[in-house]
Chain A
Amino acid sequence: MTVPSDPANESYRLDVNGSDREVTDAWVGESLLYVLRERLGLPGAKGACEQGECGSCTVIMDDRAVCSCLVLAASATESRILTVESLGDDGRLSDVQQAFLDAGGVQCGFCTPGFIVAVHHLLDRNPQPDDEEIKEALSGNICRCTGYGRILEAVKVVARGRAHGGVA
């Protein structure tokens, strides 16, 4: 069965994880989160609040960490978008992902991809953050399982590891 295409729908291209990706016949109001998950096969960013409060959909857009649920996908055609899927090399975990596992910073795991992206963004700009800077950088990411202590510990482990040249 073919669904007739709506003339009001949009076709456009997005730069996602270094690839030129085509989006066809999409409703104009679709968020970047929806397009990543439902059209481009990238389900790493998670949807929960859909209003920018929980951070589980965090992606990097033009070197800024943003909530992909608040980006109109069809407006992002000139932006460079990086998702959690781009962070590990050849299917291996990134140092941040490994540290979350080792420190117990993951329980149900739903918020984890958003945290991982936010932590990579933080440490790329500020390799040795203090506790206040870590808490501030992660204040837009909500976790209802861990109580944050082990997430903070994971960030510090990565910062120490990178300072000693142990970049994963």
Chain B
Amino acid sequence: MPVLRPRSVDHLLHLLADTPDASVLAGGTDMMVEINLHGRRPGTVLPIGSLEELREWEHQRRAGTVTIGAAVPYADMETGELADLVPALAQAARTVGSPQIRAAGTIGGNLGTCSPAGDILPVLSALDAIIHVLHRDHSRDLLFSDFMTGVKRNSLRPGEFVHSVTVPVTRGWQGYAKVGTRNAMVISTASACLVHDADEGHVALALGAVAPTIVRASKAEAWLSQQVDLRGSFSVSIEIAQEFGRRAASETSPISDHRSTADYRRHAVSVLARRLLERSAT
């Protein structure tokens, strides 16, 4: 029987270990497009959307972290307490598709597909998110940068699935911005997430849709730390913000495709980086 409906996470892990080539189905917003339009013939499908454990998120106050289940949809990140705790995640979630897509699509699905244009992924990169991966016989915690390995490629092995994601709750401004051809229903041409950690005195910048994986602009981050004391609130000159954007863009390797050109993407992402830095400064 091709659709096996797991009753629990434990059941899912057993089914997945027995059928390692099965497809784990979260919100369906990627897999169904492949089936409807690209001729994908699904083999065994394991839907996880109805597993309550995966539809919940939790704030670990003492640790200062939030853990989000793989089947939490974007709609649940847009407003409310989760949005207050991780504002950049909320901003990114609000830019995904349409209300219908955000009601169905999930954080686990974004990770499973691992498109360079995935809207949540720059946020997970900038926050150094931990991806909790389970297998019937073991579990692994991976940094996002070790999880995503290429265009629609991740480091999941047969029998493994993404159970949940943990991100830190930080003090300081954070935000997400993207460029596309219109305001609603658009896939990123270029995107960026900036997180200012006021306690650590650091600005993290992650860039989407400008390389095979999400790019952490670590050289631009290090350069900025040398120019500005980033502990607490800070201010930057226009020149520093522009140079930060230029340096960030030079760390990308965009392509030209049906959505845009490499030159435009490089330009757009430098503007996004500059704007986000200016917004994070006082």
Give A residues with C-beta under 8 Å from B: 8, 10, 12, 28-29, 31, 50-53, 55, 58, 64-67, 69-72, 74-75, 77-79, 118, 136-137, 139-141
Contacts and interface: CB of A to CB of B under 8 A. Distances in A.
A50 B3 contact: no
B32 A69 contact: yes
A55 B104 contact: no
Contacts of B99: 65, 118, 136-137, 139-140
11 contacts: A28-B3, A67-B101, A72-B31, A72-B42, A72-B47, A74-B2, A79-B50, A118-B100, A136-B184, A140-B101, A140-B185
Contacts of A58: 100
Given A29-B40, A53-B98, 11 more contacts: A28-B45, A29-B41, A31-B32, A50-B36, A52-B97, A52-B101, A66-B100, A72-B42, A118-B99, A140-B100, A140-B184
B42 A75 contact: no
B42 A29 contact: yes
A71 B32 contact: yes
Contact of B36 (A28, A69, A77): A69
Contacts of A31: 32, 35-36
A70 B32 contact: yes
Given A65-B100, A75-B49, A139 B37 contact: no
Nearest to B94: A136
A72 B98 CA distance: 19
Contacts of B75: 64
Contacts of B101: 52, 67, 70, 140
The interface size bin for chain B is 20 to 34
Contacts of A28: 2-3, 42, 45
B233 interface: no
Given A72-B45, A139-B98, A51 B36 contact: yes
B32 A139 contact: no
B33 interface: yes
Contacts of B3: 10, 12, 28, 72, 74-75
B180 interface: no
B97 A140 contact: yes
Contacts of A137: 99
A55 B100 CA distance: 8
Contact of A64 (B31, B98, B103): B103
Nearest to B102: A140
Nearest to B3: A74
A139 B1 CA distance: 38
Q: Top 3 closest A-B pairs, CB basis?
A: A140-B98, A75-B47, A139-B184
B54 to A, nearest CB: 14
B5 interface: yes
Nearest to B182: A139
B154 interface: no
Interface in B22-45: 25, 27-29, 31-33, 35-37, 40-42, 45
B50 A78 contact: yes
A10 B2 contact: yes
Contacts of A64: 73, 75, 103-104
A28 B4 CA distance: 11
Contact of B98 (A29, A55, A74, A75): A55
Given A10-B2, A50-B36, A75 B45 contact: yes
Contacts of A141: 98
Contacts of B1: 10
A47 B101 CA distance: 16
B31 A67 contact: no
A50 B36 CA distance: 6
Contacts of A136: 99, 184
A44 to B, nearest CB: 16
Contact of B103 (A50, A66, A78): A66
A29 B32 CA distance: 8
Q: Specify which of B29, B32, B35, B185 lies most central, judged by the most chain A CB atoms within 10 Å of its CB.
A: B32
